[in-house]
A and B are shown apart, each in its own frame.
Chain A
Amino acid sequence: MSISALIVLIYVLVLASYLGFELISKVPPTLHTPLMSGSNAISGITIVGALIASNELGYSTLSKWLGLVALVLATINVVGGYVVTDRMLKMFKKK
């Protein structure tokens, strides 16, 4: 990877982190548990990397197996995270 490509990635990291701090400090404490389970789901974004890693042909390589393990785990995070967050948020009602 070239240095300039790295710099672009660092830009993305810095700006996204700053945006994250701004947005998340506005989330009311009432919603901190759904925020955490929701971020479990978002960190399941590794699923994208896992898909790429699982894409090797043949089963002989270690790479592929690691990719498939990652794929199962990341999918659990994505599906479980979003579903349980929805389950919780559904309960927050105002009368």
Chain B
Amino acid sequence: MTIGIEIAYLIASVLFIIGIKYLGKTKDARRGNVISAVGMVIAIAATLFTLEVLTLLEIGIAILVGSAIGLYYAQKVAMTKIPEMVALFNGFGGLASFAVALSDYYFKRDTDLALLDAINLTSIIVSVLIGAVTFTGSMVAFLKLDGKVSGQPITFKGQHLLNLLLLIVFFAASVLVFLDPSQGYYILILVVISLVLGILTVIPIGGADMPVVISLLNSYSGMAACATGFILSNNVLIVAGSLVGASGIILTQIMCKAMNRSLVNVLLGGFGQTVAAGGADGPAVVVKEIGVEETAMLFDSASSVIVVPGYGMAVAQAQHVIRELMEQCEKRNINFRFAIHPVAGRMPGHMNVLLAEANISYDKLIEMDDINEDFSNTDLVFVVGANDVVNPAARTNPQSPIFGMPILNADKARTVIVSKRSMGKGYAGVENELFGYPNCLMLFGDAKQTITKVVSEMKDMA
């Protein structure tokens, strides 16, 4: 019987790995997700076989409630809100893991204290720490993304000292747990400190850095599952947890590189405060405006167009009308592509999902490194709702806070049109030099409305 369950767990682990392997190709990805889900069903079914029949009712109810909530949320959520959902789910994963760790601790304490050996206690403590930090950290990230808490970094004097102090107390309480595992209070101290640490680690991080934070918390939620696997000596938890942990770390690195920031620098927080001062003493940028008709004419006469989309495009819900613009251009045999910066959107790959939702073929979405050479041979670049990712100051101005960040070389194109609501600053609060360049024209107004007008102008021309 038990050997059967072990084999089922092994099959589940293999299916998770194959599922992720299939995510390597866009056309196979959906199948990969199904394979991974089958692995999960097998792992759950095998575990159900080990359970007491008497407990199946309450377990059934819990699964039903969880499934209903999960299903409802997954079908309702808007694609712009996926970062919030991922943040929330990271938190749930963390909370579930440390609840299991606590449950196991109390179970062993009340049945057989000898089961709480050094290895087991260490696993429980690690699981509580990572799980609880993931939980509260993710909740703060969720509230920041959702706008319920200000995206501004929250810093105060002695913040790092307080964190250090809490870690010392955590360590001391861990020693107490080892000395007397029968005392449930010590574990509770660990829980409370970990929960507070989770909040303290995320509040100093600004809204612009949230893609890094949710990637990192994604990784933590995997590590928490992994730690729980050590408590239960369960290989499938360790394999699945490691895969998620590795995934989160890779995404974190990619995000940091795309913003030219080190992870330590992001975690210490406070980005955006020094920046505001640096931007103020720059010379005022003089810009040239362009109207809807002229914009339509420029599109009409171009032979190659690259669109640089940013989160502002999604906020204005302009992606669908951009697809219409694409259709107009393709009718005229204009080479029409999108340049996707790694931090476009609010989480890794977010922009691709938003454009895919608007029915734009994914082979039109080109990564930064693959398209940056092409800007200099492009007639027209259309920047919609993006700002910092096309600011040439990142290449040219060592004084700029975003200096060194890899950017899309939109300024190298023959003409650049920037669709913008007003002359506001980007997420980083930096003045954009591009707007003052001689080849740059500003198309002011709501992106959706102005582009709709451009499209109808183009239809009239045809």
Q: Is B342 a contact partner of A40 (Cβ separation < 8 A)?
A: no
Give complex CA distance A61, B184 in Å. 13
Within residues 45 to 74 of chain A, which ones have a CB less than 8 A from any CB in chain B? 45-57, 61-64, 66-74
CB neighbours (8 Å) of A47 from chain B are 40, 43-44, 47, 96
Is B59 an interface position by the 8 A CB rule? Answer: yes
Given A49-B232, A79-B70, CB of A41 within 8 Å of CB of B40? yes
Name the one of A45, A73, A94 contacting B27, with C-beta atoms under 8 angstroms: A94
Of B161-169, B248-256, B405-413, B434-442, the one touching chain A? B248-256
Instruction: Say yes or no: B233 contacts A5, CB within 8 Å.
Output: yes
Query: Is B399 close to A, CB under 8 A?
Result: no
Could you tell me how many residues of chain B have their Cβ less than 8 Å away from some Cβ of chain A? Answer: 114
Interface residues of A in 1-59 (CB under 8 A from B): 1, 3, 5-6, 9, 12-13, 16-17, 19-21, 23-57
- Considering the chains assembled together, what is the distance between the CA atoms of A17 and B52 in angstroms? 34
Contact B361 A50 (CB under 8 A): no
The CA-CA distance from A70 to B359 in the complex, in Å, is: 38
Taking a contact as CB atoms under 8 Å apart, the answer to whether A44 and B77 are in contact is no
B367 at the interface (CB under 8 A from A): yes
Stretch at the interface among B305-313, B346-354, B420-428: B346-354
Which residues in B have their C-beta under 8 angstroms from that of A68? Answer: 58-59, 62
CA distance A9 to B225 in the complex (A): 13
Give CA–CA (A66, B125) in the complex, Å: 16
The answer on a CB contact under 8 Å between A52 and B232 is yes
Residue in A33, A55, A76, A86 whose CB lies within 8 Å of B59 = A55
A-side interface residues, number (CB < 8 Å):
81
B67 & A75 in contact (Cβ 8 Å cutoff): yes
A50-B99, A79-B70 known; A26+B27 contact, CB < 8 A: no
In contact, A42 and B244 (Cβ under 8 angstroms): yes
Q: What is the CA–CA distance of A72 and B92 in the complex, to the nearest angstrom?
A: 9
**Distance from A49 Cβ to chain B, minimum over Cβ atoms (Å):** 4
A61 to B117, CA, bound (A): 22
Q: Which residues of chain A have C-beta atoms less than 8 A from B70's C-beta?
A: 75-81, 83
B461 within 8 A of A: no
Q: Which residue of chain A has the shortest Cβ distance to B98 in the bound complex?
A: A70
A52-B233 in contact (CB<8A): no
Contacts A34-B29, A70-B99 given; indicate if A28 touches B251 (C-beta within 8 A).
no
Extra inter-chain contacts (15) besides given A36-B247, A46-B228, A79-B74, CB under 8 Å: A5-B233, A9-B238, A16-B13, A17-B245, A23-B20, A32-B348, A49-B232, A51-B44, A53-B103, A57-B54, A69-B96, A70-B100, A77-B92, A80-B71, A94-B363
